[in-house]
Amino acid sequence: MNHITQDPPRRRGLPYVGSTLDYVRDPLTMMRTQYDGWGPVSEIDFIGKRWTVLLGPDACEAALRNADKAFASGEGWGYLVGPFFDRGLMLLDFEEHHRHRRIMQSAFTRDRVEGYTAALQPAVIEGLARWKAGARFQAYPALKELTLDLATEVFMGGADLASPDELDRVNQAFIACVQSATSLVRANVPGTRWGRAMRGRRLLEEFFGRHLAAKRSEPGDDLFSVLCQSEGDDGERFSDEDVVNHMIFLLMAAHDTSTITVSTVMQQLGQHPEWQQRCREEALALPERPTMAELDALVDIDLVMKESLRLVPPVPVLARKTVKETEVMGHRIPADRLVAVMVHLSHHMPELWTDPERFDPERFADDRRDDKVHRYAWEPFGGGVHKCLGMFFAGAEVKTILVHLLREFEWSVDPEYRAPMSYTSLPFPKDGQPVRLTRR
């Protein structure tokens, strides 16, 4: 091919900090400004390093499809959350990633996910029974506690594994690990986010390591047991260390992502009572403990979930690092360069979506399918070989929570309310997302 490759334009900012603060304050505006001013492939300083930024569906697709195997996930994510989620599936690459993914896939077959979904039902019913409705109910922390209880049940096999105090310490350790991502201090300094995350990781390793032998010898149906028994096609299994690393990563991968999804849906349904009613009718038509097939057949709840994932993608930026020089859309990216695949912008581009800030679940309806405008217009679960392995479980979990919520409660949110989001790690509403909640 005869074309010119050029270095991407660089947006200059403060030394070291660069565009970090603009991102943390308002990622969408930062991304839009970057795209409008510097194009789909550009360079910024971000958390102490030079990054190449990919914006828009074509540039994101190039990195995620990774045709010439230039983009590695491990060293990219490793820079942000490396020591804390070390050797989780998302942090492995190429042949090794392929081998581990094949083994882990046997923990996410349809049958397995069906089993986890069945285990979710009583846990969600019990969790919601404890909610105390009120005029300023703090939805986000309540959902976070609920999804952590579900993870304890489905991932670890229930409360008999550990005391409530110990589970609380496990929860705090996770939060510390997840919150390390955009720390400007990236060393084990006491009192910093990074320092707390290091302690958190040690606690989690010790916790899973201690319970491993029992899960190997007397397995249940929980994910921890299943990972201990999982085999790839050739009979290969995970070592003890692999199981611990994968468990720590999986809990992180599953927890905040599902929580923010349900919390966005709650906000939107609180502001769009007609959609809340439509979804409630669907929920009430289901048996008390719906199966995976029944959850899959939901229409309105599915549209609302997809639209909420569009508006607030739980993982707004995916990290990569180049292992060799490569080219994206005519721009040269050198080897050993951190790359930010900013999928969030694609979800909000007026070039792709009509009135992108409007809550309009029907854009995903069969007779519209606006998301088909580009394969990478809607990419909350990523794409390519690292595409979310828990996607079907995530859908079943989010829908299970929504179905039971809609049956048990009604809620409303001021139509003018805009959640003040924190983007220091995965997005969450800083005010706890108050809703007016009443029991039906």
- Of residues 92 and 349, the one with the C-beta less far from ligand HEM: 92
CB of 250 to ligand HEM, least distance (A): 5
Tell which one of 311, 318, 338, 377 touches ligand HEM (CB under 6 A).
318
Extract long-range pairs of 34-39: CB within 8 Å, 24+ residues apart: 35/345, 37/11, 38/8, 38/9, 38/10, 38/11, 39/8, 39/9
Half-sphere exposure (Cβ direction) of 153: Cα atoms closer than 13 Å = 20
- Report how far apart, in Å, the C-alpha atoms of 363 and of each of 182, 306, 307, 355, 421 are: 33, 9, 8, 11, 25
- Of residues 90 and 405, the one with the C-beta less far from ligand HEM: 90
CB of 328 to ligand HEM, least distance (A): 16
CB of 313 to ligand HEM, least distance (A): 7
Q: Does 263 bind ligand HEM (CB under 6 A)?
A: no
Looking up tokens 């707390």 gives 196
Q: Could you give the string, one character per residue 181-220, with x where binding to ligand HEM holds by CB under 6 A and - elsewhere?
A: ----------------------------------------
Tell which one of 63, 315, 333, 340 touches ligand HEM (CB under 6 A).
315
- Of residues 18 and 316, the one with the C-beta less far from ligand HEM: 316
Q: Which stretch binds ligand HEM (CB under 6 A): 40-48, 171-179, 256-264, 407-415?
A: 256-264
Buried b (16+ CB within 10 A) or exposed e, 206-223: ebbeebbeebeeeebebb
- Of residues 33 and 229, the one with the C-beta less far from ligand HEM: 229
Q: Does 261 bind ligand HEM (CB under 6 A)?
A: yes
What single string gives the DSSP state of each residue in 202-230?
Answer: HHHHHHHHHHHHHHHHS--SSHHHHHHH-
Q: Which stretch binds ligand HEM (CB under 6 A): 23-31, 166-174, 254-262, 271-279?
A: 254-262
Reading phi first (left if > 0) and then psi (alpha if -120 to 50, else beta), residue 183 is in: beta
Inter-residue contact 260 to 427 (CB < 8 Å): yes
Dihedral over alpha carbons 202, 208, 210, 212 (to 10 degrees): -150
Q: Does 267 bind ligand HEM (CB under 6 A)?
A: no
Q: Does 253 bind ligand HEM (CB under 6 A)?
A: yes
Kind plus residue range of the DSSP H or E element containing 327: strand 326-328
CB of 421 to ligand HEM, least distance (A): 15
CB of 127 to ligand HEM, least distance (A): 16
Q: Does 245 bind ligand HEM (CB under 6 A)?
A: no
Residues 6+ apart with CB under 8 A from 8: 38, 39, 41, 42, 43, 52, 331, 332, 333
Q: Does 171 bind ligand HEM (CB under 6 A)?
A: no
CB of 374 to ligand HEM, least distance (A): 17
Tell which one of 20, 257, 322, 400 touches ligand HEM (CB under 6 A).
257
How far apart are alpha carbons 425 and 179 in whole angstroms?
A: 5
Which residues in the 51-80 window bind ligand HEM by CB under 6 A? 73
Residue nearest to ligand HEM (CB): 390
Which residues in the 128-167 window bind ligand HEM by CB under 6 A? none
Burial class (CB in 10 A: 0-12, 13-18, 19+), 183: buried
Which residues in the 346-405 window bind ligand HEM by CB under 6 A? 380-382, 386, 388-390, 393-394
Tell which one of 254, 283, 301, 338 touches ligand HEM (CB under 6 A).
254
- Of residues 11 and 400, the one with the C-beta less far from ligand HEM: 400
- Find the DSSP H helices in 218-358: 223-229, 240-271, 273-284, 292-296, 300-311, 343-346
Q: Beta strands 49-54 and 338-341: pairing type?
A: parallel
Helices (runs of H) and strands (runs of E) counted in the chain: 16, 12
User: Tokens standing for 365?
Assistant: 């309806």
- Of residues 73 and 230, the one with the C-beta less far from ligand HEM: 73
Q: Does 113 bind ligand HEM (CB under 6 A)?
A: no
Q: Does 90 bind ligand HEM (CB under 6 A)?
A: yes
Tell which one of 31, 89, 212, 342 touches ligand HEM (CB under 6 A).
89
How far apart are alpha carbons 412 and 435 in whole angstroms?
A: 6
How far apart are alpha carbons 256 and 125 in whole angstroms?
A: 20
How many residues lie near ligand HEM (CB under 6 A)?
A: 22
Contacting positions for ligand HEM (CB under 6 A): 73, 89-90, 101, 250, 253-254, 257-258, 261, 314-315, 318, 380-382, 386, 388-390, 393-394
